[in-house]
Structure 1
């Protein structure tokens, strides 16, 4: 909890600091990468840096956390912090790196705000930073403990045991530890990070959902090719498409992620768009393997049947579940859409069972619209879960 003195100071300065966070975070990343170029090259997603998404996400997280400290001190932003902690764990972030961030972030605050940063203001915002950082450090330490690894030691060499085309622009890769042991178990809905060494020497990392259920002794990820990007965004996915086949080795993290399938008997809504189908396919695979009789409403939207990754598998998994129903939308249905509707997903047309637990994955506009409709229909926010790959620019679910 923020001290009373700092609460008063943060409340008074939040408009000024919040209004300048965009400039502060831009300067922060610029200075940190200038003096520590290996961080941008080998740890941070330089595609997100190029388009400014990472600094927007950082500014949003700091502002949201500070606002909650002063306006709702009895509430912890659990979902936001959990999402960040899982992402950090999948990258192997350690506690000492928070000191590096603190150094450059506070130097940027002082430079941007100048004389407004009195000793009292600096102390108050320092308290905000370390409250947030220490919560994340504790969450990440718990994740490492649960994974039975030392802090940050999440990387493993895996063998690609198979490659399969899943749509015209998506391939799946099956993975097994290179030492021949079974792949560690995971909770349906989780992801792994994949690190690749690119032609310019950079080690870039991206996250990919595990698109099959646990219990197979191996993992599966599905990778969509990114077309027409003018930034480095998509460079890892495209590299995997162009360079990886069965028999190759990859550097992959242990599984993390908090969009995980809750056990129980309550009805489920699994709503996805585009490559956001991957965690949903993993969840359905797990449900079908266990003979689940839970009511499951599956909703998916895509550009066309040819772009729909795992389309046949999705239909087969839904058919294997006695209480499951599938609704599909295609913007360009063509001749092979079957019973799919034309256009974009519209949850207003779907029956939503009482007591449903909803999972969303896909582009932000899709998830915003889906969440808004579910809230309008009376689904509590605590029952709506979502996954964002890359910086979380939407703090809906906090």
Structure 2
């Protein structure tokens, strides 16, 4: 029987003592060379499987090295916990990775591909004299403990969704395109088959969108849902990512903005994501966002407003200006519709400064949901810690492959 997703993360087997000793001794060596190992791993894997770079992995993140750093750090953090269980449990790390994998339709077979090329890269960088059979066996055990935990967790997510592993893609038609004054575009889609409506979702979840680009690649990107569940429709907001500071423009966001309109078809995935509100709770909510990070908050507000929720709700948002604030009008309407909600903004170009929680009356016993860039999240989390907010009350997401690194105080 497939484990429930959460229980799969709570049952990580212990690393055998002989392997733990080897990992403890070699983790610093591997970590010191990880910036050479991971690029070589991806080079080997994409040479053997070019379709993965063309149709699965985010080419923009690959070009900037973000995906490489995320993989390296995730394995290192997992290994460190295995040899020292007193370190924070990697539950949140694994949950975020698992939800993202499920949203991409990742299956167990792909973990074997990663294993083959990752270990070939480790052996090549460190050399056969360093990677003895004993060391190779220990790191192989770490990899498969992590991989098996994720495979079981993802199998539980697929089972919850009522689908076979990887069967998450659905053909849809765009029934509405809304060009927000901020420059963000909201796409509303429904199933091309009226007899098979799109599923519901938890407020705060996201979908992946498949883009068939002019060069023949099929790239996938994840976008937060901004509507409320029901009626068989899903709505997601897309901010066009401009090229800056040496980073390329967002090829999928540009494609969506320039080519997709009402009546066009899109392939999307079923909703996943763990930055979700407990719909059975009555505790106050504090929703804190910056820029396009407001999108999961919009979905949460849609859910609350639909049920006329009496929960005390505080929405705090930081942006460049009022004109740049995505979904500003709709979010304002939703806050006004709630019986006990307040809304505060900080617009940097309008001399409002940066978001400062010292200026806010934070409700006692609240749950906090954060979404924004890495620097913003680090600042807000530091402010919450200084205010004495327990860590288990703070939930966050960053639209990047290494968002969970913020758990460890990294960027």
Distance between the aligned counterparts of 1:342 and 1:73, measured in 2? 42
**After the TM superposition, which of the residue ranges 1-10 and 382-391 deviates more from structure 2?**
382-391
Distance between the aligned counterparts of 2:320 and 2:102, measured in 1? 33
Deviations 1:136-189 (A, max 9, x none): 000100000011111101000011000111133211010101112432100000
**After the TM superposition, which of the residue ranges 187-196 and 116-125 deviates more from structure 2?**
116-125
Structure 2 counterpart SS, 1:222: strand
**2:368 matched to 1:389?**
no
Question: Which of 337, 347, 364 in structure 2 is aligned with 1:320?
Answer: 337
The answer (yes or no) to whether the contact 1:53–1:393 under 8 Å persists in 2 is: no
Structure 1 counterpart SS, 2:369: strand
The answer (yes or no) to whether the contact 1:94–1:152 under 8 Å persists in 2 is: yes
The answer (yes or no) to whether the contact 1:364–1:394 under 8 Å persists in 2 is: no
How does the TM-score come out when normalised to structure 1? 0.95
Deviation of the 1:316 alpha carbon: 1.0
State the partner residue of 1:244.
Answer: 260
> How does 1:58-69 map onto structure 2 within 5 Å?
58-69=71-82
Distance between the aligned counterparts of 1:48 and 1:224, measured in 2? 17
Deviation of the 1:60 alpha carbon: 1.0
State the partner residue of 1:120.
Answer: 134
CA separation of 1:16 and 1:139: change in aligned 2, threshold 3 A: same
State the partner residue of 2:3.
Answer: none
Deviation of the 1:88 alpha carbon: 0.3
State the partner residue of 1:213.
Answer: 228
State the partner residue of 2:52.
Answer: 39
Deviations 1:220-269 (A, max 9, x none): 00000112345445110010000000000001000000000112111111
State the partner residue of 1:70.
Answer: 83
Deviations 1:309-360 (A, max 9, x none): 1111111111111111111011123xxxxxxx71222223222222111111
How does the TM-score come out when normalised to structure 2? 0.92
Distance between the aligned counterparts of 1:26 and 1:87, measured in 2? 21
State the partner residue of 1:143.
Answer: 157
The answer (yes or no) to whether the contact 2:176–2:261 under 8 Å persists in 1 is: yes
**2:313 matched to 1:296?**
yes
Distance between the aligned counterparts of 2:134 and 2:304, measured in 1? 54
State the partner residue of 2:242.
Answer: 227
Distance between the aligned counterparts of 2:264 and 2:355, measured in 1? 38
CA separation of 1:84 and 1:377: change in aligned 2, threshold 3 A: same
Structure 2 counterpart SS, 1:176: strand
Structure 1 counterpart SS, 2:108: coil
CA separation of 1:52 and 1:139: change in aligned 2, threshold 3 A: same
Question: Which of 324, 335, 338 in structure 2 is aligned with 1:307?
Answer: 324
**2:274 matched to 1:261?**
no
State the partner residue of 2:215.
Answer: 200
State the partner residue of 1:160.
Answer: 174
The answer (yes or no) to whether the contact 2:174–2:266 under 8 Å persists in 1 is: yes
The answer (yes or no) to whether the contact 1:60–1:393 under 8 Å persists in 2 is: no
Structure 1 counterpart SS, 2:317: strand
Distance between the aligned counterparts of 2:159 and 2:251, measured in 1? 32
Distance between the aligned counterparts of 1:301 and 1:257, measured in 2? 23
Distance between the aligned counterparts of 2:26 and 2:90, measured in 1? 21
Structure 2 counterpart SS, 1:306: coil
**After the TM superposition, which of the residue ranges 378-387 and 264-273 deviates more from structure 2?**
378-387
Deviation of the 1:393 alpha carbon: 4.6
Distance between the aligned counterparts of 2:86 and 2:364, measured in 1? 32
Query: Displaced runs of 4+ in structure 1, greater than 6 A?
Result: none
Structure 2 counterpart SS, 1:116: coil
The answer (yes or no) to whether the contact 1:10–1:70 under 8 Å persists in 2 is: yes
The answer (yes or no) to whether the contact 2:243–2:250 under 8 Å persists in 1 is: no
Equivalenced residues, count? 391
Unmatched segments (≥5 aa) in structure 1:
334-340
> How does 1:346-385 map onto structure 2 within 5 Å?
346-385=356-395
The answer (yes or no) to whether the contact 1:288–1:317 under 8 Å persists in 2 is: yes
Deviation of the 1:102 alpha carbon: 0.2
Structure 2 counterpart SS, 1:307: coil
